[in-house]
């Protein structure tokens, strides 16, 4: 792994460690989930989870950009893996769907988040939900263990997205599938936003072009790839003004929507034959 990727991961880990140490109210009112300003880099993308069975407000830090568990087709008895599980929100919704006979595993590379999620699971008395510290580019899981993989606005934080999708392919059982919410672009961001650490940790400047994202999924070996939900993301003026001058802000706001949250589905083929690039060869 190159130095730039290591620095990016360290920056993201530190930001999310700060968020894990805050209560929900403080996080919801801060610009980056970790600070005292009035704008919200993270929370501009959040969808409302409260209508979903299994939702736990204490585990909702407002860091997502979709509702992947709502579209994940989880069945009773399934084993579900949540990538970038944070304080456990998606895991607890998935646990409701898979039932006490199933199993849910959350993976997060921020120790403080793992500790917070474990505390939430203990309070709820769930013995079939576990949280592991680990890197999505090299998961602490055996191959072919998951029926379903979910993730909510996390893969944009991964420098090597090809490795991440290969790992998703590896851990899924043949015929298993994923439902992942993430941020994609239809054109390139201004360079000043790409270089902003806050915008990266907020899943904006780490976004890649939509076609590139979907092609990467297919190249990993998945089939039946489809977008389950799509919505435009609008970055407010007060956030943009932190990184762009007045003329650049006006140009950005006048442009058509080109930042989107998508929830995408993909299925691992039923055949166990190795697919080049799928992480099994």
Mind giving me the DSSP string for 186-226? SSPPPHHHHT-HHHHHTTSTT-EEHHHHHHHHHHTT-EEEE
| pTM attached to this predicted model | 0.85
**Residue range 153-158: mean pLDDT, rounded:** 87
User: So what's the pLDDT on residue 47?
Assistant: 75
Q: How many CA atoms lie within 13 A of 217 on its CB side?
A: 25
Structure confidence by residue, pLDDT tens digits, 15-62: 778 877 765 555 554 433 334 333 455 456 677 787 888 888 888 877
Please report the pLDDT score of residue 27 as a whole number. Answer: 52
- Structure-model confidence comparison of residues 185 and 277, the more confident one: 185
Q: Worst-scoring range by mean pLDDT, 41-50, 132-141, 158-167? A: 41-50
pLDDT at residue 9, rounded to an integer: 75
Question: Which sequence spans correspond to the domains of the chain?
Answer: 3-267
Judge whether 100 and 128 are in contact, CB under 8 Å.
yes
User: Confidence class of residue 202 from pLDDT cuts 50, 70 and 90?
Assistant: low
Please tell me the CATH superfamily of domain 3-267, with its number: Vaccinia Virus protein VP39 (3.40.50.150)
Look at 18 and 224; give whichever has higher pLDDT: 224
User: CA-CA distance, 215 to 222, in Å (whole number)?
Assistant: 10
pLDDT at 207 over 90: no
Contact 66, 265 (CB under 8 A): no
- Give the model's pLDDT for residue 29: 42
Cα atoms in the Cβ-side hemisphere of radius 13 Å centred on 218: 10
Decide if pLDDT at 149 tops 80: yes
- In the predicted structure, residue 280 carries a pLDDT above the cut 70: no
Listed range (65-69, 141-145, 188-192) with the worst mean pLDDT? 188-192
> Is 278 a residue whose pLDDT tops 60?
no
Q: Which residue has the higher pLDDT, 231 or 36?
A: 231
């Amino acid at each position: 792994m190159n130095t730039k990727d290591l620095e990016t991961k360290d920056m993201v880990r530190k930001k999310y460690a700060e968020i894990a140490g805050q209560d929900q109210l403080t996080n919801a009112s801060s610009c980056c989930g970790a600070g005292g300003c009035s704008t919200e880099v993270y929370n501009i993308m959040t969808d409302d989870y409260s209508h979903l069975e299994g939702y736990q407000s204490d585990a909702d830090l407002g860091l997502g950009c979709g509702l992947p568990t709502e579209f994940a087709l989880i069945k009773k008895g399934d084993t579900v893996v949540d990538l970038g599980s944070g304080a456990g929100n998606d895991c607890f919704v998935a646990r409701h769907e898979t039932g006490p006979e199933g199993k849910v595993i959350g993976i997060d590379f921020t120790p403080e988040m793992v500790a917070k999620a474990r505390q939430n699971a203990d309070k709820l008395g769930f013995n079939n939900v576990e949280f592991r510290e680990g890197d999505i580019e090299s998961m602490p899981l055996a191959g072919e263990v998951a029926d379903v993989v979910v993730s909510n606005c996390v893969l944009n934080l991964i420098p090597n997205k090809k490795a991440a999708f290969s790992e998703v392919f590896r851990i899924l059982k043949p015929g298993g599938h994923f439902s992942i919410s993430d941020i994609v672009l239809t054109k390139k961001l201004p360079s000043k936003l790409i270089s902003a650490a806050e915008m990266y940790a907020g899943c904006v400047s780490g976004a890649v072009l939509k076609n590139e994202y979907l092609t990467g999924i297919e190249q990993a070996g998945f089939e039946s790839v489809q977008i389950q939900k799509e919505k435009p993301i609008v970055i407010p003026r007060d956030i943009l003004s932190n990184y762009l001058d007045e003329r650049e802000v006006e140009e950005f706001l006048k442009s058509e929507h080109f930042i989107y949250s998508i929830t995408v589905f993909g299925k691992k083929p039923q055949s166990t034959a190795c697919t080049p690039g799928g992480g099994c060869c």
